[in-house]
A and B are shown apart, each in its own frame.
Chain A
Amino acid sequence: MRATDISVETDSFLSPKRSFQGLLLTLQRYWAEQGCVILQPYDMEVGAGTFHPATTLRALGPKHWRAAYIQPSRRPGDGRYGENPNRLQHYYQFQVILKPSPDNLQDLYLNSLYAIGIDPENHDIRFVEDDWESPTLGAWGLGWEVWCDGMEVSQFTYFQQVGGFDCSPVSGELTYGLERLAMYVQGVDNVYELNFNGRDGAERTTYGDVFLQSEQEYSRFNFEHADTEILFRHFEDAERECRALLEAGQAGEERHLMALPAYDQCIKASHIFNLLDARGVISVTDRQSYILRVRELAKGCAAAWLKTAGGGADHA
């Protein structure tokens, strides 16, 4: 499909060129047409869309799976009190996972860019080597960051391992940084000036209207006020709960009954670690040991998941 085949209704307030939400809706519709289940964000604080069990856990085991969803992602250390036009401690990722990765995944991806109005006859789209690794998830894959006119607009990864287990079949994961993409498509240099709803005049709502205050407040929280003692305690609690659930859910050798609740605690531990890191209270050496602790949880959850129906325990 060439860009010229797609009619982008530039006059509509839902045009991806006019509104942030139009961009989200266009991507959702596009991937729905490719057979993805359109999920809602996971209801927990995560650092990236990959943490959603619809990616992490579903990437494991033999069952085929196609899903797309928006995931609010929190990176406490990236907060800038709303003063940096490009950096946010809370932002949206659009995440697509296709398992097994289809042969035409690159074309499917490019068509999604055309769908939001990026014209390949005038824009320079490149696949630049970028291997992905998540030390806390014990996961890695090979792929690229996708550049559009020198700007990174997506991460494109073929998952090789999650939680220390080989992925077979291999999932293809696409992650779009939505604010950045929207800034590009709308042609604005400051994220807070993004048009959110595509309306003009008094009806116009900007990204800043929606999120500036929360960026300021959460930056204060992340960097200055998050009670590190409580956080350390919560980390321990989440770790303990995760281990307890992993043990309690073990039903004989073959099956596990609580992989998902256990994984929630792993997500929680990971996010608390990020908060502690942003508060600057984790030294370089300690950092490594915290990462290892979360990874152990992730590995346990991955092993448990493989003993559930979703993980393919009924196959074979």
Chain B
Amino acid sequence: MPELLLELFSEEIPARMQRKAADDLRQLVTDALVAEGLVYEGARGFATPRRLALSVQGLPGRQPDRREERKGPRVGAPEKAIEGFLGSLGGLTLDDCETREDKKGAYYVAVIERPGRAAEEIVAGIVPEVIRKFPWPKSMRWGTGELRWVRPLHSILCVFDGETVPLEIAGIVSGRTTYGHRFMAPEPLEAARLDDYEPALKAARVVLDSQERAEAIRNGARNLAFAQSLELIEDEALIAENAGLAEWPVTLMGRFDEAFLAVPPEVIVTALKAHQKCFALNDPERTAPFGGAALSNRYILVSNLEARDGGRKIVEGNDRVIAARLSDARFFWDTDRATPLQEMTGALAAVRFHEELGSMAQKVARVETLAGEIAGTIGADPEKAMLAARLCKADLVSGMVGEFPELQGLMGRYYALEQGIDAEVADAVAEHYRPQGPSDALPLSAVAQAVAVADKLDTLIGFWAIGEKPTGSKDPYALRRAALGIIRIVLEGELRLRLLPLATAHEGVPAGEGGRDALAADLLDFFADRLKVYLREQGARHDLIDAVFALGGQDDLLMIVRRVEALGRFLETDDGTNLLAGVKRAGNILRIEEKKDGRAHDGAPDPALFEQDEERALASAIDEAEMRAADAVAAEDFEAAMAAIATLRSPVDAFFDAVTVNADDEALRDNRLRLLSRIRAATRAVAEFSRIEG
């Protein structure tokens, strides 16, 4: 069956965009083909730095013939209606219509036969449309044209079943020609199908498949390292980026002066990677000056050329750039260490945290107080936590972090250790930024946990106070990430922390509109939302989280989750499901009757008014269950609390089986309604059952 081969050849496409662009091209073209009735067997999208390509295999040569029917007016409808119908079909007559019957009588149906068009013709229509609407993250115009593409588009190869599909867009006429490697094989080459396109490109020093390029880089780098008894520091993102920067990747090994290894390894790895996109290597023979694996003074670079001289000049050039970068880094390492961290913190007064929230120095002071309080409750040394908080932002004014912002925290740790500051404090300085995302590592020690939570909580309270809450997709201060970070630290570290008092007592930020209590409550709602998202990803039911939060005053994340878990397990039991149904029934009756009466039926029922045994049994079961559940909750034993509540199942069932709530006698009815409200009240010891679905 025929194949469609398409290539869009352009100037260099940003590496980070290539993969998605190849997927988008495949998706957009195949969707459009299918919409035209051209189903296919398989499709593959490709991207190199200079081209997007697509092969669609197993397409039919023509669209299937199509028969369209349009329902028209009834037979005997006014002349005008029939004329209008025929007119809308482009001049058909009633002879072209069939009459059909339904319940209401006969009506006209126009039958339009549309012969399928040639696939080639459809492709010629689809391709320009896809190009015009292509979803590049950023696109541009060039020259005198109005077409937008990621960078100037130069040629289009479009071949269907061996024949060029003629099309034109912005003056570019399609053909069957493309070009090889920019420097090694720039001559034009022809291709009609993937089976000759891919090998022709390879012969012209272009590896079409990005996975294959990545593999070549990985193997090349490993082999070069192995030959020198070194170990490659694997970095998939860096491999992928390099695969997007070379059509013919060639790995080479360079080296730098060993003296640079006196700089912390993270600095060297970052300098190699961030600026030069090079790979660092470990040397198993060396001992590490900073602990852990020791770096080698060799590195791997990826070029896009099989050089005449075997790469000698390329390596020389890269070595010089790397040396300049590393001497900058060493300069910062030396000069930064000449200034104690305490002194650097002084400079934070000049660094603005946020216009309305003051300087970084002011933030640090707030975090210090908060970290001390939190440390006290989670069993960390408050002195250490406060020292770590005081120092945690100091490295922001260091030369190294100015040059390599991604090393923030980490440099603070090194500088602290160099000054002989306690290792736990130094580690907390490095770790207080954690976690940076949903899968990032968490702070390890209790001191680091205290500082990490304090830093994030201060940020949240501050932005809440000035009304800068995240909305929709806008979260410029990454507040959702901060809240999720606290949630993960607290839950995974099993920390006991009450958020409301911390938020209410936090000083040094504006009170916020509506006062501090309102702010704390609103912030807690935000935590509830983030917690729901977090737990949902772990498979928990969002309604159960609602049912616990609805109790009010729930600000201890760990206890909330324990309760949700216990509730989930309880509801999976027979007792749980039945009790839920009973409680909901009680709730529904109460809601309806309270609405009808215009008053609540709270308060204790009068035992003197009980007529039936089921009423008495239920009343005493409630008292018993409520007491036991309250004790269990106080002891934070939610399983036991659920078990206590579970004892209500049979008395509730029995009550509804035997007792008519809406008795004719008003006093009797009121008393029974009060009994129902006791069920609702008692179950609130564990959760707000009305929020639970099912």
* A contacts, CB < 8 Å to B: 85-86, 100-103, 105-106, 120-129, 131, 141-144, 148-151, 158, 160, 168-170, 172, 184, 189, 283-285
Contact = CB atoms under 8 A, between A and B. Distances in A.
B644 interface: no
B183 A121 contact: yes
B320 A123 contact: no
Per DSSP, chain B at the interface is loop
Contacts of B245: 126, 128
Contacts of A285: 352, 355
A85 B320 CA distance: 12
B262 interface: no
A166 to B, nearest CB: 8
Contact of B316 (A86, A128, A149): A149
Nearest to B312: A122
A150 B144 contact: no
Given A103-B152, A129-B16, A123 B352 contact: no
A125 B142 CA distance: 22
Interface string B300-331: 01011101110011101110111110000000
B301 to A, nearest CB: 7
Contacts of B316: 149
B307 A121 contact: yes
A121 B303 CA distance: 12
B466 to A, nearest CB: 14
B351 interface: yes
B571 interface: no
A144 B150 CA distance: 12
Contacts of B320: 151, 189
B399 to A, nearest CB: 12
B153 to A, nearest CB: 10
Contacts of B11: 106, 127
A120 B307 CA distance: 8
A101 B183 contact: no
Contact of B142 (A120, A129, A144, A170): A170
Given A168-B141, A170-B144, A284-B352, 6 more contacts: A123-B305, A123-B313, A129-B12, A149-B317, A150-B317, A160-B141
A183 B313 CA distance: 14
Nearest to A151: B321
B313 A122 contact: yes
A27 B12 CA distance: 24
Nearest to B318: A150
A172 B140 CA distance: 12
A86 B320 CA distance: 12
B488 to A, nearest CB: 31
Contact of A160 (B15, B49, B140, B322): B140
B140 A125 contact: no
Contact of A149 (B12, B15, B314): B314
B289 interface: no
Given A103-B143, A127-B12, A150 B301 contact: yes
A125 B49 CA distance: 13
A120 B143 contact: no
Given A103-B154, A126-B245, A141 B140 contact: yes
B616 interface: no
Contacts of B308: 121-122
Contacts of A131: 138
Contacts of B143: 100-103, 169-170
Interface string B335-374: 0000000000000001110010000000000000000000
Contacts of B141: 158, 160, 168, 170
A113 to B, nearest CB: 11
6 contacts: A122-B308, A123-B307, A142-B139, A142-B140, A149-B321, A150-B322
Contact of B307 (A101, A124, A284): A124
A86 to B, nearest CB: 6
Of the listed residues A86, A102, A129, A151, the one surrounded by the most CB atoms of chain B closer than 10 A to its CB is A129
B631 to A, nearest CB: 56
Contacts of B14: 129
B152 A184 contact: no
Contacts of A283: 350, 352
Contacts of B15: 128-129
A285 B152 CA distance: 38
Interface string B250-278: 00000000000000000000000000101
A176 B307 CA distance: 24
Nearest to B306: A121
B19 to A, nearest CB: 14
A142 B151 contact: yes
Contact of A122 (B152, B246, B307, B352): B307
A141 B142 CA distance: 10
Contact of B317 (A102, A143, A148): A148
A100 B146 CA distance: 12
A172 B318 CA distance: 28
A19 to B, nearest CB: 20
B8 to A, nearest CB: 15
A143 B140 CA distance: 9
A149 B143 CA distance: 29
A169 B307 contact: no
A220 B492 CA distance: 54
A169 to B, nearest CB: 4
Contact of B140 (A144, A150, A158): A158
Interface in B109-139: 138-139
A88 to B, nearest CB: 14
A121 B186 CA distance: 13
A1 to B, nearest CB: 11
A121 B12 CA distance: 19
A285 to B, nearest CB: 5
B379 to A, nearest CB: 38
Contacts of B321: 149-151
Contacts of A142: 138-140, 150-151
Interface in B182-224: 183
